[in-house]
Amino acid sequence: MRNFISVSDIGPLDRAVAEALEVKANRFAYKHLGENRTLMMIFFNSSLRTRLSTQKAALNLGMNVIVLDVNQGAWKLETERGVIMDGDKPEHLLEAIPVMGCYCDIIGVRSFARFESKEDDYQEKVINQFIRYSERPVFSMEAATRHPLQSFADLITIEEHKTVDRPKIVMTWAPHPKALPQAVPNSFAEWMNATDYDFVITHPRGYELDPRFVGNARVEYDQDKALAGADFVYAKNWSAFADPDYGKVLSTDRSWTVTAEKMALTNNAFFMHCLPVRRNMIVSDDVIEGPRSLVIPEAANREISAQVVLKRMLEDL
């Protein structure tokens, strides 16, 4: 694997899941692959799970890891070409990227949507510059429009817990006080559409996702109807995608919060969320703490999804 940006980079999902389960059972079996190899993790945004799980995955593989928080301890980076750089940003991405590439073998990048320009966000301007200029394999640690390490971990978690061949998966919007990117729901939709699960998306009107990610999923505006018979409930907030409301909060309607009453509508569904989660906005305390909550196993599988991706990249170096 050269780069890992979307579901299309991982190949057949059944093989990817099988490899994940094998790695999970024997995390240190591939330590020789990472010898004398350095991972550089570059964060333009905050991170807990991604920061920790990706480091752990790289250490499992015997790699060295260098972590760079771009906004702490490094120089602020200009991203536009042609600018007279007389402001507060002393370095340009066009130099910084190949320089970072010099000192490592593989690059992970986190760069969220900025909501300044929908076009810039949906063209994945930052991570695509890394792919173009770094001369190194690049993987997404959440980019503007996708979070594939999360979606892969979600898939592994569903495969570990499903009790029917073709479970019903419901991704439901839930309220949140601030505007969040669409990366996680876009990506989850993309991965679910690549399986043969019964996949339903539910959200208030106005929160339609980019049709390229919705694909063949069923969209249902009535949350209660959507939840009926669900085997897995995947909650997530996102801000509006459609113009002219791109990046805006249109609703904080707490009737969309996933509560025990909502879960009672399902087929004793598992509850999933990528974390971090706003309790009692997205989900009630009792649901997230309950016996059907998978939020911790999901997070634990982040180490596994990252390790499969790094392992494949190392094998192809």
43 is an interface residue for its own copies by CB under 8 A: yes
Give residue 158's identity as a one-letter amino acid code. I
Would the annotation count 310 as a binding residue?
no
192 is an interface residue for its own copies by CB under 8 A: no
Would the annotation count 147 as a binding residue?
yes
DSSP string, 42-79: EESS--SHHHHHHHHHHHHTT-EEEEEETTSSS--EE-
CA distances from 284 to 43, 129, 137, 175, 287 (A): 31, 40, 40, 12, 6
25 is an interface residue for its own copies by CB under 8 A: no
Query: Shortest distance, CB of residue 81 to its own copies, whole angstroms?
Result: 7
Would the annotation count 50 as a binding residue?
yes
- Which residue has 């969209």 as its token pair? 219
Task: Give the footprint of its own copies on residues 47-106 (CB under 8 A).
Answer: 47-49, 51-53, 55-56, 59-60, 64, 66, 68-69, 72-75, 78, 81-87, 90-92, 94-96, 98-100, 102-104
φ and ψ at residue 189, rounded to 5 degrees: -60, -45
CA distances from 226 to 120, 125, 194, 262, 315 (A): 33, 35, 20, 10, 42
Choice between 12 and 291, CB closer to its own copies: 291
Site string for its own copies, 161-180 (x = CB under 8 A): ----------------x---
Query: Shortest distance, CB of residue 306 to its own copies, whole angstroms?
Result: 10
Is the bond preceding 276 in cis, omega lying within 30 degrees of 0? yes
Q: Report d(CA 140, CA 267) in Å as an integer.
A: 34
Strand partners, 42: 68, 109
Choice between 14 and 135, CB closer to its own copies: 135
Choice between 1 and 249, CB closer to its own copies: 249
Q: Report d(CA 69, CA 237) in Å as an integer.
A: 26
Site string for its own copies, 274-303 (x = CB under 8 A): -xxxxxxx---x--xx-----xx--xx--x
Cα angle 129, 149, 123 (rounded to 5 degrees) comes to: 30
Q: Which residues are annotated as a binding site for N(2)-succinyl-L-ornithine?
A: 142, 176, 236, 278
Binding site for its own copies (CB under 8 A): 27-28, 31, 36, 38, 40, 43, 46-49, 51-53, 55-56, 59-60, 64, 66, 68-69, 72-75, 78, 81-87, 90-92, 94-96, 98-100, 102-104, 177, 252, 275-281, 285, 288-289, 295-296, 299-300, 303
